[in-house]
Structure 1
């Protein structure tokens, strides 16, 4: 019988791949992942929204959402991997969007936010 990977194992895998995750994922999806992310943000996020990006990884979707919510909105990236969140923070800093994004290390299956905190929840 197969068993699920432990959270520690999952975190370890993502921490190791974080530095090259964007390249690997983009190559593996022939960049179609970007199109899908854009569609989700375009149709699910409006200016001023407070958004949760659950399992946000390196922050690619969060950056798109941060642009969409504008200065009045807010995006929270939640991910189990500290390595992925470090990469997301760096990308947000480079894009000059860090002031619109919060970074939270945690398990998206065990959310620790009050009800009705977010206008939209994304997970791409």
Structure 2
């Protein structure tokens, strides 16, 4: 995985959310959470797994809605932040955080109804094997996001020290077919790359988002989006 050592550093975990999801980054957090909730639907009593859960943004959110969920991550520091978040939300007794490798998930086949992975595949060095492993432990649904190859993200990528793996639609379709998954639904958003929003104060980011949304709601929106959210089901 790209940036694995950087990601696991204590100081990165402690400031991860404040640097990415405050000010203009709040818009990204809200949009990603809407995408997840739209894909998974009602989660009361649903057995779920979040891969690369980080500080538990989605794990805690889904636990608050009644999911029986496990958050798995390779970073002990990120998991510690996740546990703090769960305690603050009053759901620490209703979820489990555990350290693990997404390439070798420590669960039997078909163990979870739904498996999700957000902000993961842009760092994946072997996405096909990761997706196949997610499919193995899922009984019904796999939800994940990708950054689009032919978008403003490709320009922004040049400025990043680690870069990101970008995907065309054809590449995603090939990954799904190879993993035995079929596409059930999809959403595409953000003409402008995520990083731009994180650098702006709330008010300016909100105005920029209005322009961005207008572009996305136009006929060309799906073709110029920089982010895609994929809701997939097991074939058969």
Aligning the two structures, in what range does the TM-score lie when normalised by the shorter sequence? 0.7 to 0.9
2:34 & 2:86 partners in 1: Cα distance? Answer: 17
Match of 1:19 in 2: 14
**Which structure features the higher share of strand residues?**
2
Match of 1:56 among 30, 50, 53: 53
SS at match of 2:62: helix
TM-score normalized by the length of structure 2: 0.45
Match of 1:34 in 2: 30
Flag as ranges the 4+ runs of structure 1 deviating above 3 A: 4-7, 10-13
Higher RCO (C-alpha under 8 Å, 6+ residues apart): 1
2:92 & 2:8 partners in 1: Cα distance? Answer: 25
Q: How many residues align?
A: 116
2:24 & 2:117 partners in 1: Cα distance? Answer: 17
Match of 1:93 among 84, 87, 94: 87
Structure with larger Rg: 2
Structure 2 unaligned regions, length at least 5 = 119-236
TM-score normalized by the length of structure 1: 0.81
Comparing 90-99 with 40-49, greater Cα deviation is found at 40-49
